[in-house]
Amino acid sequence: MDFELSSDQSALVDAVTTMVGRHAELRKGETLRPMYYSYGDALDRDLTDNGFLDILRSDEFGPLEAGLMIAEVARSPHAVEVVASALVAPSLWPELTLPRPIALARQEDLCRAVRFLDRAGTVLVDAGDRIVALPIEAGQVVEAPSVYAYPMGRFNAPPDLSKGHVLEGSAVEEFRRLWRVGLTLEIAGALRSAVHFTTDYVKSRQVFGRPLGSFQAVQHRLAMDVPRAEGAYWTGLRAAWSGLPVDAATALLHAQAAILPVVFDTHQFNGALGFTLEHALHFWTQRLRWLDAEMGGPIAQAEAAADLAWPDR
């Protein structure tokens, strides 16, 4: 993998970064209006209208460019569904335009809250031996209140998976690979924003007459958090580029393992206000707490990576 982005890739990142920045403002006065999450409807429309969610349907771009876009969108304080729409669905169903937003779930998740399900047009379900693209019918889903900085929904009753589009065979492992790649880059974007947000804060926050960031203990811990976030970003991009399932499982393992120390440090360095809904930090850290458990969490990724690396062990 070439770690130097091409001119087209750099232009893509710059365009998405600009778009995310245009919709990043949440503040009303001195503090934020308390809210558990904010869905980025305006950002979603911009991404859709400008073709970013159809990136895999373009001849010029592929999974790596989709990954670059996902990581930048994940830096927004607004939650926006892009992984399934821009990476998973067009890879597995290139001829279908599935109603979106699109939720992702394992079959065992269908009895509990699933992110984006409250507004989803489709849910892609890992049913073990097959993948099902299930359309969501009116009244089938209710909102599930949550503190995890995502809109959530749950089914009123177990859905009938026989009503969906089904893929079997190699598509099952490909679905899991793509989900892991997208999830890794979502985590990477949120980690990077949480660390950068905190770094800016400790530069200006005065303690004992000097910036909080001038204390070595703070510097050392943030210096450890930066490679955690950047490592998730680059391993996620490598997995998107290589197309190897073992790379995707290893990347997600690294990303999920980085969440706990980064969330702990960033909240501690932002002080008491950082634990409130009037502060922007929770839009990334609470999101990360949910992503830490998705697809079974780091233990499941370690087991998957071992099975993929040593299938005959």
What is the predicted pLDDT for the residue at 241? 96
Which residue did the predictor score with more confidence, 279 or 145?
145
194 falls within a domain: yes
d(CA 285, CA 281): 6
CATH number at residue 206: 1.20.140.10
Asked if 129 and 168 touch (Cβ cutoff 8 Å), the reply is yes
**Helix ranges (DSSP H) in 86-211:** 89-92, 170-204
What is the predicted pLDDT for the residue at 29? 47
pLDDT grade, residue 158 (50/70/90)? Answer: very high
Query: β-strands 122-126, 102-106: how paired?
Result: parallel
d(CA 37, CA 39): 7
166 falls within a domain: no
279 falls within a domain: yes
277 falls within a domain: yes
What confidence tens digit (pLDDT) does each residue in 185-199 have? 999 999 999 999 999
120 falls within a domain: no
Q: Is the pLDDT of residue 88 over 90?
A: yes
159 falls within a domain: no
175 falls within a domain: yes
Q: Is the pLDDT of residue 213 over 80?
A: no
Asked if 91 and 63 touch (Cβ cutoff 8 Å), the reply is yes
Mean pLDDT of the region 1-27: 87
Q: Is the pLDDT of residue 300 over 60?
A: yes
Q: What residue numbers bound the domain in which 297 lies?
A: 171-309
180 falls within a domain: yes
What confidence tens digit (pLDDT) does each residue in 232-278 have? 999 999 999 999 999 999 999 999 999 999 999 999 999 877 778 88
The DSSP secondary-structure symbol of 136 reads P
Q: Is the pLDDT of residue 30 over 50?
A: no
What confidence tens digit (pLDDT) does each residue in 47-61 have? 999 999 999 998 889
What is the predicted pLDDT for the residue at 274? 79
How many domains does the chain divide into? 1
